[in-house]
Structure 1
């Protein structure tokens, strides 16, 4: 049985975030990485994915915002999803009250910086918290900045709207029965390990893998380790 492997990028990410995984996963199925365009809701992004791929045996992996899109894909078409991989992501809605308003303000400050000083300047303010501190002068860090710079303030604004209005996927976790791999960088400050341990506890028979010496951008920071985990997941979900 041939599986389509869907690789969902996160906020301001493109196919470069999966570049090191596509080769190995391509030996197990056809890989597809969407461009969300100007879609400004996670649901619309999920619908784009479902319209873009054929077949009923999808292996869906999502990183960061892409993990939330993966959950929305499952919400809409659970019968088409043969496996899920959720990397450095979350499942709860924006918090109510002061915490939620603080998140909104923080994201809008970054958007204003992108509009006034450019995407790379915004990336220089944002990216230090996205990767392990030991990589702040590395080629990986520059690759993250390059990826951010390839995007635009308008696309950033659309994706911020999608995240601020993100749906609650808590109840959905208990409905997931397909092989599910949960992956998190040990040093992820944006989507901490504790959140992934919660998902692992709520998704039946899921597996949790921690990527050492990695922050939020685990697919780029520790590509070999993440590739090994995703190959393990794809083979598990494919019954190999």
Structure 2
């Protein structure tokens, strides 16, 4: 039976972050993309994502894939399942809760965003798109500017309040894939190794020639792994 795949974007992303991946997935899959731009918490994002799957028949396989912030949302969904899932993938994300140092850094970033959002966007693009072409950087830049400062602030606060679900992850048995760009400086490969300690049965893929923006920078590699999750 053909599955439904729910793709969850990252912070300051819209559905276009998955635009290069979707055409490379099996043609008989139904692909849906979660909206994580309006909620005030990771838990609310997860509840709304589950609601996007409410009409899927119980016998239809459902797959999840979350990128960055979307990975936090996928982890929340896995920790509080509302239906059986066939498989899941976590891309460029972390199992760890916010640290005091991380919280201070995000508060500083929020202040900078409010003062000069376009300047912060330039920093995000340069830091997150390591090894990317100018065309890819411009695409990411325009996406972030379109999503906007207010959404970025709301999502940053949500990330700061995320829960620690490592124990819940360790109890999972469904097929899982963990992906990270080899040159990711936002959520470095070490954090994917942390995830792998919680999910020892998961496939782990450190993708060469990519920074943080894995679905944009290495869409084929991402699509190949996602496609392998459902025979």
Counterpart position of 1:85: 89
Asked whether the 8 Å contact 2:8–2:36 carries over to 1, the reply is: no
Return the alpha-carbon distance in structure 1 between the equivalents of residues 82 and 190 of structure 2. 26
TM-score (norm 1): 0.88
Question: 1:106 Cα deviation (Å)?
Answer: 2.4
Aligned to 1:131: 129
1:103 Cα offset (Å): 2.1
What is the CA RMSD across the aligned residues, in angstroms? 1.7
Contact kept, 8 Å, 1:176 with 1:204, in 2: the verdict is: no
Structure 1 residue runs of 5 or longer lacking an equivalent are none
Does 2:19 correspond to 1:10? no
- Pairing of 1:136-175 with structure 2 (within 5 A): 138-175=134-171
Shift of 1:28: 4.0
> What is the Cα deviation at residue 10 of structure 1?
0.8
How far apart, CA to CA, are the structure 1 residues paired with 2:39 and 2:26?
Answer: 27
TM-score by length of 2: 0.91
| Structure 2 residue aligned with 1:108 | 107
Tell me which residue corresponds to 2:183.
187
* Cα distance, 1:143 vs structure 2: 0.9
Alpha-carbon deviations, 1:64-112, whole Å to 9, x = none? 01011001111221643211100010111112xxxx1x32232233323
Greater Cα offset, 198-207 or 150-159? 198-207
Which runs of 5 or more residues in structure 2 are unaligned?
Answer: none
The DSSP-based 3-state class of the residue aligned with 1:139 is helix
- Matched with 2:52 is 52
> In 1, Cα distance between the equivalents of 2:156 and 2:137?
22
71-80 vs 35-44, which deviates more?
Answer: 71-80
SS at match of 2:86: strand
* Contact kept? 1:3, 1:29, Cα under 8 Å: yes
The separation in 1 between residues aligned to 2:107 and 2:147, in whole angstroms, is 16
Q: Which runs of 4+ in 1 moved over 3 A?
A: none
1:151-197 CA distance string (max 9 Å, x none): 12221111111100110011011111111000010111121112212
Structure 2: how far apart are the matches of 1:204 and 1:126? 32
In structure 1, what is the Cα distance between the partners aligned to 2:166 and 2:193? 13
Does 2:73 align with 1:69?
Answer: yes
User: Post-superposition shift, 1:130?
Assistant: 0.7
* 3-state SS of paired residue (1:10): coil
Aligned length: 227
Residue of structure 2 equivalent to 1:117: 116
Q: Does 1:201 align with 2:197?
A: yes
CA distance in 2, matches of 1:148, 1:201: 32
